[in-house]
Amino acid sequence: MDALAFSSPLGWLCVGVTVLFGVTVLHRAQRSPVEKANVLIWSLLPALLGLLCGATLGTGGGLVAFWVVCLICSAYLGGRTLLPVGDRAVLITGSDTGIGHALAKYLDSLGFVVFAGVLNKDGPGAEELRRTCSRRLSLLQLDITNATQVKEAYIKVSEKVQNTGLWGVVNNAGVLGFPADGELLPMSTYRQCMEVNFFGAVEVSKTFLPLLRKCQGRLVNMSSMAGGIPLPRYAAYGASKAALSMFSGVMRQELSKWGIKVAAVHPSGFRTGIQGTSDLWDKQEKELMENLPADTRQDYGEDYLLSLKSYLLHMPAYCDADLSPVLGAILHALLAKRPRGLYTPGKGAYVPLCVFCYFPLWFYDFFISKMVSTESVPRVPRTAEAESKNL
């Protein structure tokens, strides 16, 4: 090591930048306690490099390398640093169960003023929120397909936030429908998915945007992995979530001039209860069967049709019960200085998206067929395959 490096102007400039960067990092950590650990860890890299450059610097090359690392770390910290919670207010739809329910509890524990929209204000989910959350949390009767209830919720939120505005809206409410081949699904399933997953979210967004504009807040739309890539048996659900994702992208561009940031969240498989109860499955299965034409029913075969409910029953076993990756993504979208436009929390959520975007479609179709392969095959293709093998 060159001990004289510290006495050179470049060496002292290197040390000075390190000190300045460290002070900035500590200031950010103080303002964002949620990210304190990450911020402090990332401050060590440029600090150590600064000392190394200061000890060994003989030319300007070391200083250039140090500056580059500082810029990279600053960019990373800018994306990781969260704004203080303060008295920020957030509206969450679909807080009865699943992600919305967990998010309402999580944000309340962090100090947010939470408006939890529920489909049933007297239901068990709403009652648990009353029992476990602070008095900052307010329950709203909110069926997002009911324009009257959306307007009433807007009035109640406006009265509470007054001139401060609403910091965030999380469009979480959604329905799955009965997972089945697109040809088999009744039109009512397509309409219900679009009505709740897309039109309802648009209605809530348009209604509450004036409050978001007051404080240049955040709009977060809960889409799905099925909204970014085509997945078998999710024609209705995937189409509605794809519409929501496109809406998010357009609104992100249009609302940027108002200072409002928009993000779409595409989680992978998480255990949220969105598939509903066994009674709902029976009802949806009955509706599907009653609407099938005789020739379609014959082509698919009874055993294949009966296997659809078995697929639905086994779905939770392949889903992650830990919702923390999703909650962390939503928190980042709400508080990050530079939030991302798209979040893909969960194991493997980003891999199928990359395959779909960067590989030939035939390869993607093959990849998905292996990833979500089902044991049952419709009667006609199965018979044709058996005949071809016997030839």
Q: Is 237 a catalytic residue?
A: yes
The count of other CB atoms within 10 Å of the CB of residue 271 is: 16
Rounded to 5 degrees, what are φ and ψ at 221?
-110, 120
What distances in angstroms separate CA 254 from CA 39, 104, 203, 261, 390, one per listed residue?
Answer: 32, 28, 17, 10, 60
Question: Residue 44 is encoded by which pair of tokens?
Answer: 């060590």
Mapping DSSP to helix (H, G, I), strand (E, B) and coil, where does residue 82 land?
strand
If we measure between CA atoms, which residue out of 25, 26, 6 comes closest to residue 16?
6
Q: Tokens 């998480």 map to which residue? A: 270
Mapping DSSP to helix (H, G, I), strand (E, B) and coil, where does residue 250 land?
helix
Mapping DSSP to helix (H, G, I), strand (E, B) and coil, where does residue 264 land?
strand
- Give the C-alpha separation, 101 to 97, whole Å: 5
Catalytic residue among 234, 237, 304, 343: 237
Q: Tokens 């939030």 map to which residue? A: 339
> Residue 68: beta bridge partners?
none
DSSP code at position 320: B
Q: Tokens 């095959």 map to which residue? A: 377
* Triad 131, 134, 140: Cα angle to 5°: 75
Q: What residues are annotated to the active site?
A: 237
